[in-house]
Amino acid sequence: MNKFEPQIIAFACNWCTYAAADLAGTSRIHYAPNVRVIRVMCSGMVNPIYALKAFEGGADGVLIAGCHYVDCHYLNGPVKCDAMFEKLKNVVHTLGLEDERLRREMISASEGVIFARVIEEMVDRLKKLGPSPLKRAREEAPSLLKRAREEATV
Amino acid sequence: MIVKTPYREAVDVLVDEGGETLQLCYQCASCTGSCPWGLVRDFAIHKVIHEAQLGVVDFEDEGIWLCVACGACVNQCPRGVKLIDVVKAIRRTVMELGVGKMPSSLRVALTSIAGVGNPMGEAKEKRADWAKDMDVKTFTKGTDLLYFPCCLPCYDPLLKGIAGATAAILNKAGIDFGILGANETCCGEAIRKAGNESLFQSLAQKNITTFSENSVKKVLVSSPHCYHTFKHEYPDLGSDFEVIHSTQYLLQLIKDHKLEFTKELNIKVVYHDSCYLGRHNGIYDEPREVLRSIPGLELIEFPDYREDSICCGGGSGRLWVDTEKGQRFSDIRLKQAIDLGVEVLAVACPYCMSMFKDSQLTVDGGETVAVKDIAELVKEAM
Amino acid sequence: MGRNGHRRIGVYICHCGLNIAGTVDVEEVAEYAASLDSVVVSRHYRYMCSDPGQALIKEDIKNLGLNRIVVASCSPRMHELTFRQVCQDSGLNPYLYEQANIRELCSWVHDDKKIATEKAKDIVRAAVRRVCWNEPLEVKEATFNSNVLVVGGGIAGIQASLDIANGEHKVYLVEREPSIGGHMIQLDRTFPTLDCSECILTPKMADVGRHPFIELLAYSEVEEVSGSIGHFKVIVRKKARHIDESKCIGCGVCEEKCPWKVDSEFEMGLAKRKTIYIPFAQAIPNLPTVDADHCAYIQSGGRKCGACIKFCEAGAITPETLLNQTDQIVEFEVGSIIVTTGYDVFDPSVMPRYGYGKYDNVITGLEFERITCAAGPTGGRIVLKDGREPESVAIIHCVGSRDQNYHEYCSRVCCMYGLKYAHLIKEFTNAEVYEMYIDMRCFGEGYEEFYKRVSEEGVTFIRGKVAKVTDRAITEEEKGKLIVLCADTVLGSLIRVPVDMVILCTALEAHSDAGQVAKIFTLNRRADGFFLERHVKLDPVATPTDGVFIAGCCEGPKDIPDTVAQASAAAAKVLSLISKGKITLESAVAQVDETRCLGCGRCEEICDFHAPRVIHTDGRWVSTINETLCKGCGACAVACPTGAMSIRHFTQEQILSMVEALTEV
């Protein structure tokens, strides 16, 4: 039986968090391999649909990370991201996903260590939570659909 | 010339026993500079830490047993070395590997705690005797507050007043509280610092189980040592209750107008910050606010107060070790109080009280200053 | 371009020596890439960024008609521009390129080869999918305004300004204090040569004052900066000095006649100044300033004093100037900015164990500088507060530095200035001198030699971090003295040193308002509080914000030689931008699909840069983007309810293609 390895999709802002992830790399800080990073210019650029599509695709966790309030290259990106995140949280909750699957962080360009730590923590947490319920639904969907069709033709 | 060779395995043992911050030390010796032992004798704790870094600690050295865990060094350390934990790791190594020896009087106290749940060697069943003639009930499921007095006030006749005063205050304020008496055992804080990890774990488990069986949600303690271990160490072992120190609780009662002062005490009082309330837990203001609210009480400060307070010398198991005359911190502190011309030296810790009462017997003019717990002063003014 | 408009993708997996190939099976990844849709060619090579590596791509674009390129290598933050240039040189639009980061995000952070290779494949797959959606973008250029703004008139700002102005480009030098000079003008002697600080600095200050290409805005602060590299709009507040600058002849009579005194900031509170004052003799500009908060005339609404009005022969001070002069707002445009705002000195009052603020004769380094300075409050005599000469002095290192309770970093200059003080005390007094240190950091030119020289002068060195400074004596000889208590690590014993004066070598720290300054100039701050450079080794004066540079102590504590070097480095960077004369505008800006736009205005509301504007045209309301103001942050696209707004090169389709590629089972 394969041990469950959660998949995390991370949206990282170019100026801060992506730079922090790079710094973790240059510092050779090892962390769990479960994250796939997508670079955006600002955490305020993250459209809620990105996170929802990630969960729909079966991701077990989504991380939206950007600058601290004082650091944003575009001044108020984090504030705008916060506003979006509040609403996104509710939608994710309504979908039946555990709150911890969606995480918001502020990681600045010099905080490579923190980036690695956040990933490790998330992986740890997600391992305990198990695979995303949407993933199971996705896997079961074809057979459910097949059964529904069979029942419909009867 | 003694030549030493670094021994990596010994370092690894100390790191495993919880002393991993020894690796941070950059040998500045600001710890030795702030250590209270420097007031009375030669003791270079920075040397012990560096020996630990090299793996050449002399486990038979009596210096290992000098640390009183006062935290003055940890407070100042620019690298974040947790010296108390490093010393604890060394003592644990002594205990578990059988290298070196614990001072015999300390061993006696620990054996007594292991056997009868208190360091005095007194019978377990007598733990609630202090409350015999008082209106104090046994804690049961549903009681609001557990009062956990600490072994010393339970058994030591000189310190009984602390528990008695606290219980009287709780009754006057109409608080629903109870005690567990023989069902509780020593909190184990000093045992852990002395290096006996397994004894600490078994004591803690006993208490945690008892508290859990009785649905204890909130514990009132008189000792900052009990406070410290309940708050910071018991949760890792699965405990789930809130702990509050008597000075904090008294202040809350005063603020909620559940306590009324009817007498004016008209005394000059100096307050001694105990290490475990002050440096370790940042509780400096509540005891002072309680004292200031007592009518007629003039509060004076020692020149070295708050974070700079001098340890009484009772922590980390040294309460049970004989310290040579001329090397007792509590003597120094008592002399300071006498020189300040106060009537009362106020404390908020049974260990401090025990050490100061001992000093009163040998220091010139020791009887001119009364040593009292804050709870006792509050009761006097009620 | 490309046949049939279909995507023809070239994928290149870089070994980066063993940096990637040591952990990721690059051959396997290349093979995998070749199997992906629309990938025409997939190669792996040792160093893609090298000339032969780049040539591979160029050849393939030419011979295979590639219209999309993916390089899997280091972070795009390293070489995206390099490979975009390769595309451009081959006639391919630079935005039809994607970089897959399989080094910083993969090979450098994992050691299991299988896992790292699988992850690298995922990353490459995502990049290949994304690049399919990339569209060519127009690369626009704009002219570069050759004016430069330098913020902060200390030695760094002065040096940078002169370097640029000597190239005959206009510099606006803004300084918040009434005069330029910074902290360096407060210093007495500079280590290790012991030349007089004022003597080497004032000629430069004078040069600044009269330079035809430098417009000095002293007693002024930058309030707002907008725009971007090549065309920043700057708003500066010139604070009112309450004099008529055009009439003032700098005679100084007003200061002489003023009867009101307050603590002098320049003298670190050791002396007083008047409420109309010139901060020090060589001030540039040589203009008095009225301290409106303490001027009796101003505070009384014109009823009290007025001595300066009476005595000013040039008529530069009048009731009008005193009572009605207001701050002036000045606006101008520059193409680049150099921030040289310097440092603050750590306040040791937060460490009560050293007794600063409690004992008169415990002082900081800067205070000692003023004491030894011949023009200072004691006329250069090294004396205690009560005027006596000290018999003994202790100099304590690492106060607030190398201490996780305050600042973890080393302030770099304190060991040297501690030695300097020891030397000066030995030279001018008969006092005993003790240096309490943890390490002696004498790294620069002539520094170690200076340490040896001071050792030969009879200074006592004690290795131990001081635990306490107290006045509680335990022996006769300690009475009336300050006792420095520390453990000598070499001896292994406690040392009590009775002294008359204690000098604290205090840390250099970021200015208390560095946060606000950072916001104005869009600077990031490091964990230690100083401004963040673009790359700590390879680009120490540039910042992540194009066109904004930092130099000197605002970038971290450093000595004068390093400060001057950085200032000139920043000036060089600016001069190179000016010499190029044009800059490439950000292409990845917002765009409006007018067919979907409702003209609701949410984009205009959310944008901090005023780029979107809803206008009425053709009978409807529709949003338009001012591309020179747009930074491409993406907020408007998220706010847009219809999806009309998108960010070029970061469209929804492009990002979602990556999400889908990565979450495929």
In the prediction, which pLDDT does C609 show? 81
C518 touches A at CB < 8 Å: yes
Q: Determine contact: C1 vs chain A, CB below 8 A.
A: no
C424 contacts chain B (CB < 8 A): no
Whether residue C369 is predicted with pLDDT greater than 60 in this model: the reply is yes
Tokens of C642: 């219809």
Between residues B310 and C609, the one the model is more confident about: B310
What are C10-29's pLDDT values in tens digits? 999 999 999 999 999 999 99
Check CB contact of C662 with chain A, cutoff 8 Å: yes
Nearest to B258 by CA among B348, B148, B170: B170
Asked if C111 lies within 8 A of A73 by C-beta distance, the reply is no
Contact between C482 and C469 under an 8 Å Cβ cutoff? The reply is yes
Which residue of B33, B79, B80 is in closest CB contact with C467? B33
Share of chain B above pLDDT 70, in %: 100
Residue C404 near chain B (CB below 8 Å): yes
Mutate to test the interface with B, among C414, C415, C465 (most CBs of B within 10 A): C465
DSSP C383: -
> If contacts are CB pairs under 8 Å, which of residues 640-659 in chain C contact chain A?
647, 650, 652, 655-656, 658-659
Rounded mean pLDDT of C374-381?
A: 94
Mutation target to probe the C interface, by most C beta carbons within 10 A, among A26, A79, A134, A140 is: A26
Q: What is the pLDDT of residues C80-111, one digit of tens each?
A: 999 999 999 999 999 999 999 999 999 999 99
Q: Is C329 exposed, middle or buried (0-12, 13-18, 19+ CB in 10 A)?
A: exposed
- Decide: residue B258, CB within 10 A, 0-12 exposed, 13-18 middle, 19+ buried: middle
Residue A1: pLDDT over 80: no
Compare CB distances from B46 to C398, C403, C489 and report the shortest one's residue.
C489
Q: Which ranges of chain B have pLDDT less than 50?
A: none
- The tens digit of pLDDT for each residue in C401-429 reads 999 999 999 999 999 999 999 999 999 99
Report yes or no: C390 at the B interface, CB cutoff 8 Å. Answer: no
The token pair at B20 is 């991993």
Q: How confident is the model at residue C187 (pLDDT cuts 50, 70, 90)?
A: very high
Q: Which whole-number Å values give the CA distances from B235 to B118, B229, B232, B239, B341, in the listed order?
A: 22, 9, 7, 5, 43
- pLDDT tens by residue, C106-118: 999 999 999 999 9
CB contact under 8 A, B33 and C405: no
| pLDDT(C266) > 50 | yes
Residue ranges of C 89-108 with Cβ closer than 8 A to chain A: 101, 103-105, 108
C-beta neighbour count of C360 within 10 angstroms = 12
C82 inside 8 A of chain A by CB? no
- Per mean pLDDT, which range of A71-75, B241-245, B315-319, C536-540 is the poorest? A71-75
Helix (H) or strand (E) holding C461: strand C460-463
d(CA B239, CA C203): 71
Partners of A48 on chain C (C-beta within 8 Å) are 638
pLDDT for position A33? 97
Which whole number is the average pLDDT over C49-62?
95
Yes or no, beta carbons of A57 and C103 under 8 Å apart: no
ipTM value, please give it. Answer: 0.93
Count other C-beta atoms under 10 Å from residue A54's C-beta.
31
Chain B neighbors (3+ CB pairs < 8 Å): C
- Residue C529: DSSP 8-state: S
pLDDT digits 0-9 by tens, A3-31: 899 999 999 999 999 999 999 999 999 99
pLDDT reported for residue C665: 53
Instruction: For chain C, give the percent of residues with pLDDT over 90.
Output: 90
Chain A partners of C655 at a C-beta cutoff of 8 Å?
Answer: 38, 40, 47, 50
| Chain B contacts in chain C segment 144-163 (CB below 8 A) | none
pLDDT tens digits, one per residue of C331-343: 999 999 999 999 9
- Give the Cα separation of B150 and B15 in Å (integer): 32
Q: Check whether C3 has a pLDDT greater than 60.
A: no
Cβ-Cβ contacts under 8 Å, A30 against chain C? 109-111
**Token pair belonging to B207:** 């208490």
Task: Assess whether chains C and A touch, using the rule of 3 or more C-beta pairs within 8 angstroms.
Answer: yes
User: Residue B64 corresponds to which amino acid?
Assistant: I
Question: Searching chain C, which residue's CA lies closest to the CA of residue B39?
Answer: C494
A and B touching (3 or more beta-carbon pairs closer than 8 Å): no
Task: Report the neighbours of A using a cutoff of 3 or more CB pairs below 8 angstroms.
Answer: C
Query: Is the separation of the CB atoms in B47 and B27 below 8 Å?
Result: no
pLDDT at A154 over 70: no
Q: Is C519 on the interface with A (CB under 8 A)?
A: yes
Given this model, what pLDDT does residue C2 score?
39
Q: What pLDDT, on the 0 to 100 scale, is given for residue C519?
A: 87
- For residue C541, is pLDDT > 80? yes
Structure tokens at C531: 């401004």
> Is C4's pLDDT higher than 70?
no
> Residue C105 has what pLDDT?
97
